[in-house]
Amino acid sequence: MITIKGILERITYQNPDNHYTIAKLRIAKISDPVTTVGHLAGVFEGESLEISGKWTTHPKYGDQFKIEVYKVILPASVAGIRKYIGSGMIKGIGKSLADKIVDHFKERTLDIIENEPDKLKKIHGIGEAKKKLIEQAWNKHHAVRRVMQFLQEKAVGVYHASTILQTYGSGAMNILEDDPYAIAKDIPQIGFAIADMIALKAGGRQDDESRLQACLIHSLLMFEQEGHVYGLKKKLFKLCSKTSGVEPELFEQALEALIDSDEVRDQTDEEDIKIYLSRLYKAEFGIASRMKAILSMPAISHQIRKDQILEEVLTKLAIKLSPEQLSVVNNVLHEKIVVITGGPGTGKTTLIRALCEVFKMKNLKVVLSAPTGRAARRLSEVTGKKAFTLHKLLGFDYENQTFDRNFANPLELDVFVVDEASMVDTILMYR
């Protein structure tokens, strides 16, 4: 990793949400400023920076320095401090007032503003109101910097540091100091490993219960990513022990605490104890409950004869159905829920086309859906009818992560067809 030092001459672009920044850095003895790209938070034009990273070449904009770690170098000399606080970056301090403050406190000026702001009232023109204005501006200016410096000292890269800052804002430092493992819960892309690194580097104990709880949640999330809705307790403890370096039996108390707080659920079977994340437990048993309720209701026979299907539907579509496919059609017409399985080329799509036409004959409202946009488009192509992704159909709000359609506001339809249903995860199926 290469390190360069210079003055932040100009911020060309900065994303206000994630602090991704394109800037010009003026380096001594180099005629042209260097273009830097990466996440820079809490920095201002005119400040001295030390940036570590690597050189890259953009196909259009040429050589750029990609930021991996950075720190602000505060001025130490009286002249540097005078220029720094008189630059306008601190609300309430202009050039004239900056001169008065620095003339009085000399090299201690920044320390006074940071740690003993009441002493600023010794300066003519600074009363209580002005002092508070300066103090608030300084704290706001340096809060972001303190978070970034704290995280980078813990070996957290600038991208993840910016993500943490974006999530918690001015409260980030309190979270980092009081409960760093909250990061793993609140920011999935950060995860346990980075939260653990922050906590341990800050002096946290390996057997701290908050660490053990976070590790349990992390391991259950790993099971979920592999397609499981629960983990067997013995296997869960073994994985947690491997991840954390802590003996398996130490996780017992942490698990009990998570159960008491309803973050996880347990269910005993003959061989072991199943441990669920509570949301997956609710979804799994909710699906079973709803399925059972639907199946307990009497099915409505639509009184459609096979010969009617053969004569009208198959002739119209110019297709043929095998005896097995005709049997499935009968099942669909007489059951509340039917799962159609089969490998590629076994006629599932042809069957769906025929069924849609049958339901149309009976004036039933059919809604076609699929879990992905690609699957929905393919379903539309083969049936000639509009198909929707499940998220669009259920009115998913990406910003708030909620669905418009729910038990209180159900879809209005007679027949619901979900293609590629094996791709639907447990949470979405519950919806």
> Which residues of the chain form CATH 2.40.50.140?
2-73
Cα–Cα distance measured from residue 24 to residue 31, given in angstroms and rounded to the nearest whole number: 12
pLDDT of residue 327: 79
Token couple for 338: 């039917």
- pTM value is 0.73
pLDDT of residue 300: 64
pLDDT of residue 391: 92
Q: Indicate the burial class of 255 (C-beta count within 10 angstroms; 0-12, 13-18, 19 or more).
A: buried
> Which residues of the chain form CATH 1.10.10.2220?
205-297
pLDDT of residue 104: 94
Q: Which tens digit of pLDDT belongs to each residue from 130-171?
A: 999 998 888 877 777 788 888 888 888 888 888 898 888 878
Cα–Cα distance measured from residue 357 to residue 318, given in angstroms and rounded to the nearest whole number: 12
Q: How far is CA 345 from CA 33, 88, 349, 371, in A?
A: 62, 71, 9, 21
Cα–Cα distance measured from residue 35 to residue 26, given in angstroms and rounded to the nearest whole number: 9
Fold that domain 78-153 belongs to in CATH: DNA polymerase; domain 1 (1.10.150)
Cα–Cα distance measured from residue 106 to residue 76, given in angstroms and rounded to the nearest whole number: 10
> Which residues of the chain form CATH 1.10.150?
78-153
Beta strands in 188-320 (DSSP E): 230-232, 264-268, 273-277
pLDDT of residue 169: 82
pLDDT of residue 309: 61
> Which residues of the chain form CATH 3.40.50.300?
306-430
Low-confidence stretches of the chain (pLDDT beneath 50): none
Neighbour order of strands in the sheet with 366-370: 387-389, 366-370, 415-418
pLDDT of residue 152: 83
Fold that domain 306-430 belongs to in CATH: Rossmann fold (3.40.50)
Q: Give the CATH class of 2-73.
A: mainly beta
DSSP string, 77-112: SHHHHHHHHTSS-STT--HHHHHHHHHHHGGGHHHH
Cα–Cα distance measured from residue 81 to residue 25, given in angstroms and rounded to the nearest whole number: 20
pLDDT of residue 303: 58
**In this structure, are residues 427 and 279 in contact, taking their beta carbons and an 8 Å threshold?**
yes
Domain 205-297 architecture: Orthogonal Bundle (1.10)
DSSP string, 154-200: TT--HHHHHHHHHHHGGGHHHHHHH-TTHHHHH-TTTHHHHHHHHHH
**In this structure, are residues 418 and 369 in contact, taking their beta carbons and an 8 Å threshold?**
yes
Angle at the Cα of 196 from the Cα atoms of 195 and 200, rounded to 5 degrees: 120
Q: Report the candidate in 39, 316, 8 with the shortest Cα–Cα distance to residue 152.
A: 39
Cα–Cα distance measured from residue 54 to residue 173, given in angstroms and rounded to the nearest whole number: 29
pLDDT of residue 77: 85
